[in-house]
Amino acid sequence: MRTPRRSPVKWFVDNFLKGCLLLVPLATTGWVVWSVFVALDRLLPSPVPGLGIVVAAVVIALIGFSTSNVVGRRLIEAFETILERLPIVHLVYASLKDLIGAFVGNKKTFERPVVVRLDEHGGVGVLGFVTCDHFEDPALAGFVAVYLPQSYNFAGNVIVVPADRVTPVGTDGASFVTFIVSGGISGMNAAKKYLDETAPISRRP
């Protein structure tokens, strides 16, 4: 079957949202590096071209390394405890931390796109990402947690559903979340995979 050509508007929106998802973590990281660079550059006794950015990179790398040991983790936990007393600051910090962690790092969240069937026949489904597939509470055995992003919004809801109501979708997380956030007008590959997964067997090619 020939793939329909996307309109320029859909192409632009699709790639614009993908670019935003990529640039937000990068821009945040760049801002942190630049802030550290400026602060250290002011502390250096004599200006040396390029030295500030090198020192900033080393300092940030050492901070990252510190998270791999007990002392470093305790310091970070203490820092986050202080932030919890500052509601607005903590909200911004936690949101950026979760957003960056969702797409990069060792524990990516948005790597498991799924369709959640709302009825037994699979006629209606919602799109989301599995964020937890195991609960310690025996009452939740066989259930998974799914995060459901909202269209035209970066908010969402978390639902707990039986694991057999969840169908994995074989596409990348960025395209999938683009399809959801754009209200279905972008990320057509994700849409096709969704339709293929949920279409009744009699209607599949």
Average pLDDT over the chain, rounded to an integer: 71
Distance CA 122, CA 193 (A): 15
Reported for 87-95, long-range contacts at CB under 8 A and 24+ positions apart, including other chains, are none
pLDDT tens figures, 132-141: 888 888 888 8
In the predicted model, what is the mean pLDDT of residues 107-116? Answer: 78
Where residue 100 falls among pLDDT bands split at 50, 70, 90? low
Contacts of 116 (CB under 8 A, 6+ apart): 125, 126, 127, 128, 146, 148, 159, 161, 165, 166, 167
Q: Which residue has the tokens 């949101």?
A: 95
Helices (H), 44-172: 51-66, 70-84, 87-103
pLDDT tens figures, 146-199: 988 888 766 788 899 999 899 888 777 777 877 887 777 766 565 555 555 555
Residue type, 51: L
In the predicted model, what is the mean pLDDT of residues 46-63? Answer: 67
In the predicted model, what is the mean pLDDT of residues 88-100? Answer: 64
Give the domain ranges of the chain.
8-103, 113-203
pLDDT tens figures, 4-42: 566 677 667 666 666 666 566 556 666 776 777 777 667
In CATH, the architecture of 113-203 is Roll (2.30)
